[in-house]
Chains A and B, each alone.
Chain A
Amino acid sequence: MALIKKIVNWARRKSPWILHFNSGACNACDIELVASLTPRYDVERFGIQIKGSPRHADILVCTGPVTMQTKERLIRIYEQMAEPKFVIAVGTCACSGGVFKNCYGVGGGIDSAIPVSLYIPGCPASPNAIIDGVVKLLSSLEEKTPVKAVEAEVL
């Protein structure tokens, strides 16, 4: 069993599948996330692939504060993912609610709805910071599961 776990972990580390969910963001973090896939940053060289379904994803990458309307859907998506699963909060809004913290439509950061494994601050989080964060998360998979929340450097 330990061997299987090691293989699965290795596969997960080598090629994590990501699901991106925008829970009410202004799009800045989302476009920086997409930018990290494009040639200059090329996060795909880490084997990362963006998939469309929660059931295929290892990592849920969330941007934006949690708005009332998206909260339920966010929780449902999280529940549909198979264990072990990790959540990355990209951007200051996802970390804490950001500038929208006191707005009536907003509850707070992603962790007001689901547990978060990694916080990447920034407004928006730059592709450099996103890659740094993802690499930190992947390296921590080598050591143990579950992952303790780590914070990426704002670059």
Chain B
Amino acid sequence: MSNEDNIKQQLIEKFSALSDKIIVKRARRIFAEVSLADFPQVFDFAIKKLNFSILTAITGLDEGTVFGVIYHLSTENGIMLNLHTTTPRDNPLINTVTNYFPAADAYERELVDLLGIPVEGLPQGNRYPLPDSWPANQYPLRKDWKGQMPVNKEESK
């Protein structure tokens, strides 16, 4: 059995809800759908028991009725586990993972700034990547955000 299939099996054994939610796309690429409620335990298990010691990135997506958040984990030898979870669009909220990965700070701030997903437990700090002058409640990566911040000649001259 390949390493990837082995990992898939261990996840399913521990979390039966994942049994039809894990796909091994190819070598070194596993994608899994996890409910927000189950996420903390699955995340913890993947890191502590399955050797996913690296968090390479966090991607936020606008998926219509929900916001998707994908945690791109990796082992030392290059196997990736991409954990996709969702939070409702009308009341989004996720928990920080900076307690596991201090460097997740920047990735989580992107979710806050660009999609408007609040992150519980995120330590105090500067916003990223939008400027301080960016107006409130404008989340560029949301699908319904079509605006462009004008830097027009009238203003500057």
Number of interchain pairs (Cβ within 8 Å) = 30
- For residue A67, give the distance in angstroms from its CB to the closest CB of chain B: 8
Q: Which 3 A-B pairs have the closest CB atoms?
A: A107-B151, A69-B131, A68-B131
Q: How far is the CB of A50 from chain B (nearest CB, A)?
A: 26
Total chain A interface residues with beta-carbon distance under 8 A? 15
Q: Is the CB of A71 within 8 A of B156?
A: yes
Q: For residue B152, which residues in chain A have a CB less than 8 angstroms away from its CB? A: 107, 112
Give Cα distance in the complex from A102 to B147, angstroms: 10
| Contact A112:B140 (CB < 8 A) given known A68-B131, A69-B131 | no
With contacts A68-B133, A68-B134 known, is A75 near B156, CB below 8 A? yes
How many angstroms between the C-alpha atoms of A103 and B145 in the bound complex?
12
Query: Could you give 13 example pairs across A and B, Cβ below 8 Å?
Result: A68-B133, A68-B149, A68-B151, A103-B148, A104-B140, A104-B147, A104-B148, A107-B151, A108-B151, A112-B151, A112-B156, A113-B156, A114-B156
Q: How far is the CA of A106 from the CA of B152 in the complex (A)?
A: 10
* A66 interface residue per 8 A CB criterion: yes
**A105 within 8 Å of B (CB atoms):** yes
Do the beta carbons of A105 and B149 come within 8 Å of each other?
A: yes
